[in-house]
Amino acid sequence: MTRTRATAAAATIAAATMTLTACSASAPFEDLAAPTFSEVTVHDPSVVTSDDEVWVFGSHAASASTTDLMSWTQNSMSVGDADAAGLFDDIRAELAETFEWAQSDTLWAADVVELPDGRYAMYYNACEGSSARSALGLAIADEVDGPYVNQEILLKSGMWDEESENAGEIYDATIHPNTVDPDAFYDENGDLWMVYGSYSGGIFILEMDEETGLPVEGQGYGEHLVGGNHSRIEAPNIRFDEETGYYYLFLSFGGLDAGGGYELRVARSETPDGPYLDAEGNDMSTVAGAPGTVFDDVSIEPYGVKLIGGYEWADGSGVGGDQGYVSPGHNTWYDDPETGESFLIFHSRFTGTEEMHNVRVHQLYMNEDGWPVLSPARYAGESLTEVSTDEAAGTYQVVLFDKVISPLVPTSVETTFAEDGTVSGGIEGTWELGDDAAVTVTAGDATYSGVLAPVWNPTAEAWTWGLTVVSEQGVPLWGRQAVDAS
């Protein structure tokens, strides 16, 4: 069973469709076809599978499905068309208590998980928006696309000057959670958990009853994992990796709009309820805004292993996703049961398109240190493959990220990876191929490890090599080899 993710409300945008035309591919890409993409809009996507279909559910009751992670079909766009799409019989009536408590007319980042008996549990949530006045509840359906029947509200927040879900404690938004952004997941033993939270008091985790989909009684808000003092950390999502034996906690840092500097980071733990550590050994439960602050990004910037943030390709097409991403975040994960390949699915805005956003899928790899790295291009049907030094050597556009949370994004620089193992141009250092497409890059005072993998360059309409590595400090470096025009 596979499921996961979603966060805050954004404008609902009509889906667009883009088809890339076929082109010739040279070895070692001769067996790879040009991809065809169909775009959909689901803010804060969360994955669940049904037979061969992969579904995402998100904010505003938006949903979409695919069978190949490239061509998507929009199912619903908003709360207004949720009934027509079959998600609910009467969503306004069924969730009236939630809308009233949250003082909202829309829903935030929904999460759907398949229960052991085959039913589908939707963890819906709504928030007032300018405060942590929120409600998180459960609805259940026999089929993934509904209709979902409301069960009950599970958690509330924002009960100012009143007792919180923690018995005997008056609600305090600096230490108690905003009850939104749920992610239900199974641990290695098949036990169900739910992680949730956004800004406010941080990210929390609850043990769940997989038979009913309800929290195990007596936990209150559950255990605190990260955040506090209104730091901009949200959209938690947890994935267990059988090979490494770690639980990976994916988080979105920053603000979700085009000027918010949204980005994805990760930490890991040996147990689902933590503690989660980053690559430098920092305990994420201590990461929070400075006391008395609101949205203090400086306090949280040094922590976590960064996977992706905004960026631009200098050799891109000039506008949209081909040029680069703006505020990518709020991810979910999917493991293909047949191939064993792993993917992150998230929403992103794009260069020059303001608040318009679409779903994006990138393949996820593990480096030699057991940290995930993300393909520098959207998934186009590729698989990890053998690469030789002479194939890998060449001119690349290289993006070196940092940990500053900012709308100012890095632009790629031209860099040469020579067959003699030297790196020159935009960055200076050395590089070396290992087994199974593993690669190590040394530049400045940092050593980066990851993989070289095929990627589709939409501007050149051709396959090429993509570099994705991360340093021991948790800073990623991406590269895209220039396409030979001859």
At which residue do the structure tokens 């040279």 appear? 26
Active site residue 234: yes
**From the candidates 183, 234, 241, 301, which is the catalytic residue?**
234
Quote the Cα angle for 191-194-196, to 5°. Answer: 165
| β-strand pairing of 203-207 with 192-196 | antiparallel
Closest by CA position to 470, among listed 419, 411, 401: 401
Residues 6+ apart with CB under 8 A from 258: 326, 327, 349, 354, 355, 407
Q: Is 23 exposed, middle or buried (0-12, 13-18, 19+ CB in 10 A)?
A: exposed
Closest by CA position to 452, among listed 373, 341, 399, 395: 373
Question: Cβ distance 350 to 324 under 8 Å?
Answer: yes
**From the candidates 44, 165, 183, 210, which is the catalytic residue?**
44
CA atoms within 13 A on the CB side of 249: 35
At which residue do the structure tokens 């290992």 appear? 434
Structure tokens at 457: 């360059």
First-to-last C-alpha distance (Å) of the chain: 46
Q: How many CB atoms lie within 10 A of CB 247?
A: 23
Active site residue 152: no
Which residues are known catalytic residues? 44, 234
